[in-house]
Structure 1
Amino acid sequence: MERSSVLQVTMLESMEQPDHVVCLCNTHLYFHPTACNIRLILAAAALRHIQAICDAYTQEGKTTGMVFCGDFNSAPHLGVYQLMTFQMVPSDHADWSSDGKEQLLSTLELHQPMNIISACGTPAYTNYTSGFQATLDYIFIDDDRLEVTKIVPLPSDEEVKANIAIPSQVFPSDHLALVCDLKFS
């Protein structure tokens, strides 16, 4: 409870199809190098809240798509990405012991029911500083309801590295923007 994070949720109704809504969510998960376990719990709590909102709209007869984007501070090989895209994180996952034996969560297994994909795939990096490069940012979507129609390409390696790292004169953030077009399936 001492580790804060943020989750913003907005429901958008289609003007062309009022029975179609998008649950648009954004987060910036807590960062600390040894806090993979904390990020897993925060991501799971966010997903449960998002799922409850989507379920309420679905029960009203709405077709509900989910878009969950942000800085998850978690690379594709870590538990948050696994929870999102593989629907579960087992109790023996390495992230549970990321903060040492004193804070080991050895009996916790997480599940989520949505069929989620990373809409922009897993680029080589979305964060590029002089000492660190990794994919930390994602646009996750419910693959059962939404599909990607277009992905705006990320800048080339040469463009990102032209000023050693980002932020730079060309890129105002140390994170690259992910942009894609989506439509209901």
Structure 2
Amino acid sequence: MMSENERRLVDGCATFYKASKYTLVEKHLIEFSAVAMQRPDFKKTDDMFNRVLGKDHIAVVTLLENKETGTRIIIANTHLHWDPAYRDVKLVQVALLIEEVEKIAQNFAKYPPRLPPTPSSAASSSTSPSVSENNASSRPPPVYSDGYKIPVIVCGDFNSIPNSGVYEFLSNGTIAPDHEDFMSHTYGKYTTEGIRHRLGMKSAYAATGEPPFTNFTTSFYDPIDYIWYSTSHLSVNSVLGPVDPAYIEKQVGFPNAHFPSDHLAIVSEFRLRPQREVAPPTARPPPVFPESSRAHA
């Protein structure tokens, strides 16, 4: 059992998945302070020791494979530091997270695809009411040439509002080394070369606009939780709408009798975008030379 003081110093995340549909291939725990210590360019940085290492925030990365189609997906779930006075730490944490997700994705792409369904398993699946699922199960599993071909979702409590450096980095894929959210602190290559990623992500709520808030207390009212997805591989079907404004007007903050947390749940339904098929090269017909044509005329 942990004491109350110990609980305040321990961060946690959980990711749940539908075990009947997906196989858990691998899971990774990312402790931002531990990852930061492994970077040679951070080891001589006082700001890293004084500001980053004292934080216990983490992320969980889950590698899943669809049992029927072999389609893969990577889910990252995280909790970043909360204090607005440490927005530099939040930016460092999210940069470390995305770097780790990219590395994990590249390794995941090297895993061989699952075996295609056997004739007996394909026959047994014919009793399923879904014709599309039967067709999917009869296709060979996808092959991923690199990690950027695997669908990625990065979600969680980012403790950052939409005009923050964290939001800018995730949506634009780049942050300048002198970005104001670094707050003039020094973080190795991050503050000499900037940070960037190639995941091509958007917030699931980008099309509808972020909710008015995802955290609601007596002193704070803003969106700070997000679901980011790789737009090349996923499309948004729908998102959960906001709480009725008429209800909110009568509240002073959460939690209350109807909402058990100061954070609201955000939900998005995705669909996989079809992979671009590369057409096999067609055989070139043999050349016909004029001389040979005349010889046979």
TM above 0.5, yes or no, is yes
Identify, as 1 or 2, the structure richer in helix: 2
- Deviation of residue 49 (structure 1)? 0.7
Which of residues 45, 48, 63 is equivalent to 2:99? 48
* Structure 1 residue aligned with 2:272: 184
Contact kept, 8 Å, 1:120 with 1:178, in 2: the verdict is no
Which of residues 79, 90, 101 is equivalent to 2:176? 90
Q: Name which structure has the greater RCO, CA cutoff 8 Å, separation 6+.
A: 1
Identify, as 1 or 2, the structure richer in strand: 1
Return the letter of the residue paired with 1:127: N
Matched, 1:67 2:119: no
Deviations 1:58-81, CA, capped at 9 Å, x for gaps: 344345211111000011101111
- 1:133-152 map, 5 Å: 133-152=221-240
Which of residues 182, 200, 213 is equivalent to 1:115? 200
Percent of matched pairs sharing the same residue: 27
Deviations 1:37-67, CA, capped at 9 Å, x for gaps: 1011110111011111112223443452111
Max Rg structure: 2
- Gaps spanning 5+ residues in structure 2: where? 1-52, 112-142, 274-297
* Separation in structure 2 between the aligned mates of residue 3 and residue 39 of structure 1, nearest angstrom: 10
- Deviation of residue 131 (structure 1)? 1.2
Q: SS where residue 130 of structure 1 aligns?
A: coil
* Separation in structure 2 between the aligned mates of residue 108 and residue 76 of structure 1, nearest angstrom: 24
* Separation in structure 2 between the aligned mates of residue 166 and residue 141 of structure 1, nearest angstrom: 28
Return the letter of the residue paired with 1:129: T
* Structure 2 residue aligned with 1:77: 163
Contact kept, 8 Å, 2:211 with 2:241, in 1: the verdict is no
Q: List 4+ stretches of structure 1 deviating above 4 A.
A: none
Aligned residue pairs, count: 180
* Separation in structure 1 between the aligned mates of residue 223 and residue 164 of structure 2, nearest angstrom: 11
* Separation in structure 1 between the aligned mates of residue 67 and residue 160 of structure 2, nearest angstrom: 35
- Gaps spanning 5+ residues in structure 1: where? none
Compute the RMSD of aligned alpha carbons.
1.7
